Amino acid sequence: MVSAASVVLSATAAPRDITIAELYDFCRTPVFAEALRKAERFGWPRMSEAKLENWRASFLDYLGGPVEVSGWQRGEDGKSDALSFWIAHGANGHRACVYATHDGRALEKALTETFGAPDMAEDSEISRSAIWTRDDAEISFMNVGTAAQVNISSRP
C-alpha cells in the first residue's frame, strides 16, 4: 500500500512536482482518457505525437496489438523529467508508466520512503536496480550515473 507521504520526485520549478503516491495512482489508472485528465493536473507539457511515434512503432513490432500512449516532459532537453503512460490491449495487455529523471538518488529515496525496502535490489559498478511488488503492480527502478527511471506496471 502506498503511503500518503509527500515525497517530491524533482525539485525543478513549475510545472509542479509529482509525489510518489500521485505517480503510483496515475500509473494504475485503468482508463486511458482518465489518465490524460489526471496528467493535466501535473501541468507538464504533453509530448507531440511525432515524439511518441518511434516508441509506438517499436512497441507494436515487439509485442503487437494496439496500444494507447501519451507522454509529458518538463524542463530543458538534456535536463528534463519525462513521464509516459500506456495501455496495451490484446494478448499481452497491460498498463504501465515510466517516470525518468536526472536525480536518481532522490527518486530511489522517495520510492523507499513510500514502499519500504525493495523486494530485490542489485548493484553493479555503474548501475543500481530495485524492484517492489505492491498490490498487483510491479515497481522497477533503474539508476545509471545520474539518470534514473521507475516503471510501474500491472495487468488490467
On whether the CB atoms of residues 128 and 113 are closer than 8 A, the answer is: no
In order along its 156 residues, the chain shows pLDDT tens digits of 333 443 444 433 357 889 999 999 999 999 999 999 999 999 999 998 888 888 888 888 877 788 899 999 988 766 789 999 999 988 888 999 999 998 888 999 999 999 999 999 999 999 999 999 998 999 999 999 889 999 999 987
Q: How far is CA 2 from CA 51, 84, 95, 110, in A?
A: 32, 20, 18, 11
Task: Show Cβ contacts of residue 55 under 8 Å, excluding neighbours closer than 6 positions.
Answer: 69, 71, 84
d(CA 133, CA 53) in angstroms, rounded, equals 30
Q: Which residues of 127-148 are buried (b: 16+ CB within 10 A; e: fewer)?
A: ebbbebebeebbbbbbbeeeeb
- The model's pTM: 0.84
Which among 100, 104, 2 has a CA at the least distance from the CA of 55? 100
